[in-house]
Amino acid sequence: MAKIVGGIATSHVPAIGRAIAGRLQQDPYWKPFFDGFPPAHAWLDKVRPDVAVVFYNDHGLNFFLDKMPTFAVGAAPQYVNADEGWGIPTLPPFAGDQDLSWHLINELVEREFDIVTCQEMLVDHAVTLPMKLLWPEGDGIPIVPVCINTVQFPLPSARRCYKLGEAVGAAVEAWQSDKKVLVIGTGGLSHQLDGERAGFINKDFDLAFMESLIADPKWATQFSNEELVEKSGTQGIELLMWLATRAALPGAVRKVHATYHIPISNTAAGLMVMESGS
């Protein structure tokens, strides 16, 4: 059976791509952010995952306001970067793992999740930036993208996203494979890009949420989406990807590494590495 080695949650602020492309990692503005990643690289070198399930949110690339699925799973042989222009300009395609994709799709439908199956799928900065941050010198590992709607209401609740993560984790552990699987959650943390609260950041809530992923992983499920937006900003609702990632990890987890930095382009940027205990 496959083994889930752990999970990594990280921000995907588009400006990070510009910094990578411009080789600004040592620039005073960017250095504190990029300095948080070497411990994650060291952990990845130790556990050496074979494939990653990536919880992310699409930014109008595959799905727009006229057609917005709640959950979608990629089943493509590869995923091409077609970012909207604020991320890394060019990247080679990311390889897919179609065997795991179809296993997840079948298992999720069996568990009564009405998902959209995508045999062709483009990816934007929500996928490309975490992969480049975690594997800065290479192309990373094959991926299975799992898209969660955080763009247009009605959004799935925190409770529903947690259940999705649990179902994905159970499906991975039932996969007839000897591969080691990493779960990645991408987005957030607190930020709001427009409206009267543009620039809103809630450090206290962000840190409480990050700590809850270790000590009380269902903590955020007590809040409605409206309450989460109030606490973390309109775009801060992307924390749902972090929540699904934690839910996919079996049992208790060990916090390997965590960083929190503000601001990056008016966003609270976080990173958390969690090792599975099973």
pLDDT in tens, 176-224: 999 999 999 999 899 887 878 877 889 999 999 999 999 999 999 999 9
| Three-state secondary structure call for residue 40 | helix
What is the radius of gyration, based on Cα positions, of the chain? Answer: 17
pTM across the whole model: 0.95
| 185 neighbors 8 (Cβ within 8 angstroms) | yes
| 70 neighbors 156 (Cβ within 8 angstroms) | yes
Instruction: Name the more confident of 18 and 72.
Output: 72
Nearest 5 degrees, angle CA 259-CA 265-CA 268? 30
Positions marked active-site: 125, 191
Rounded Cα distance between 106 and 81, Å, is 26
Pairing of strands 122-123, 78-81: parallel
| 166 neighbors 250 (Cβ within 8 angstroms) | no
Digit-coded pLDDT (tens) for 23-81:
999 999 999 999 999 999 999 999 999 999 999 999 888 888 888 999 999 999 999 99
Identify the pLDDT of residue 228: 93
Nearest partner of 241 among 14, 40, 57, 87, judged by Cα: 57
Q: What is the DSSP letter of 107?
A: H
Identify the pLDDT of residue 52: 98
Structure tokens at 257: 């590494």
Does the pLDDT value for residue 154 go beyond 60?
yes
Rounded Cα distance between 222 and 71, Å, is 21
Does the pLDDT value for residue 238 go beyond 70?
yes
Cis bond leading into 154, ω under 30°?
yes
| Residue 84 pLDDT level (bands cut at 50, 70, 90) | low
Topology of 3-276 in CATH?
Answer: Protocatechuate 4,5-dioxygenase; Chain B (3.40.830)
Identify the pLDDT of residue 278: 56
Digit-coded pLDDT (tens) for 87-134:
677 788 999 999 999 999 999 999 999 999 999 999 998 999 999 999
Identify the pLDDT of residue 65: 83
Structure tokens at 48: 């050496």
The gap from C-alpha 51 to its chain's centroid, in whole angstroms, comes to 14
| 58 neighbors 124 (Cβ within 8 angstroms) | yes
Q: Which amino acid is at 168?
A: V
Quickly count: other Cβ atoms within 10 Å of residue 30's Cβ.
Answer: 19
